[in-house]
Amino acid sequence: MKKFVFRLEALLKMRRLHEEEARGALAEAIRHHQQELAVLHKLENELNHYVVGFRENQIKITSIEVLKNYHYYLDKLNGSILFQQQQVQSAEEKRVHCLQLLEEAAKNRKLVEKLREQRRAEYDAEFLRQEQILLDEQGMQGFMKANR
């Protein structure tokens, strides 16, 4: 009997490759999301430090210009934080999308692997059936020779 050949082996390899690419894209998206979160936390910490510093120095502030500078910098930090929150949200959406793509790629690969296993089981069953037929024929020939 011929050796087992799965005709969709190329498709299975392609699906495995696609899954690996999706896994790499997810890893990159997670890394990017973590970087964006780190920047956001840094800005929030800077804002908190700035507010605490402002409150401590509030009594010492004697000029309107210094107060305006504090206010402008506070607005700039708040704007940066809002922008960074959008960046974090965008990175999170990309991460979720990549995770969905990975799940879909894994599902597609498993589908082809399951089909391969079924075909292999069919091949093995047919191989055993053919082997049993051959053994039965050999046994019958031996029996016929013995009874002559």
Query: Does residue 146 carry a pLDDT above 90?
Result: no
pLDDT at 132: 92
Distance CA 64, CA 72 (A): 12
pLDDT digits (tens, 9 = 90+) for 61-96: 778 888 888 889 999 999 999 999 999 999 999 999
Contact in structure between 106 and 19 (CB atoms under 8 Å)? yes
- Using left for φ > 0, alpha for ψ between -120 and 50, and beta otherwise, residue 140 falls in alpha
pLDDT digits (tens, 9 = 90+) for 15-61: 999 999 999 999 999 999 999 999 999 999 999 998 888 888 777 77
Query: Does residue 139 carry a pLDDT above 90?
Result: no
Residues whose CB falls within 8 Å of the CB of residue 70, separated by 6 or more in sequence, listed in order: 54, 61
87 or 137, which is more confident: 87
pLDDT at 105: 97
Task: Tell me the three state secondary structure of residue 133.
Answer: helix
Model confidence, pTM? 0.77
pLDDT at 47: 94
pLDDT at 8: 93
What mean pLDDT value characterizes the chain?
92
- Closest among 87, 98, 113 to 35, alpha carbons compared: 87
pLDDT at 27: 98
pLDDT at 103: 97
pLDDT digits (tens, 9 = 90+) for 100-124: 999 999 999 999 999 999 999 999 9
Neighbours of 130 (CB within 10 A): 11
pLDDT at 20: 97
Distance CA 135, CA 38 (A): 71
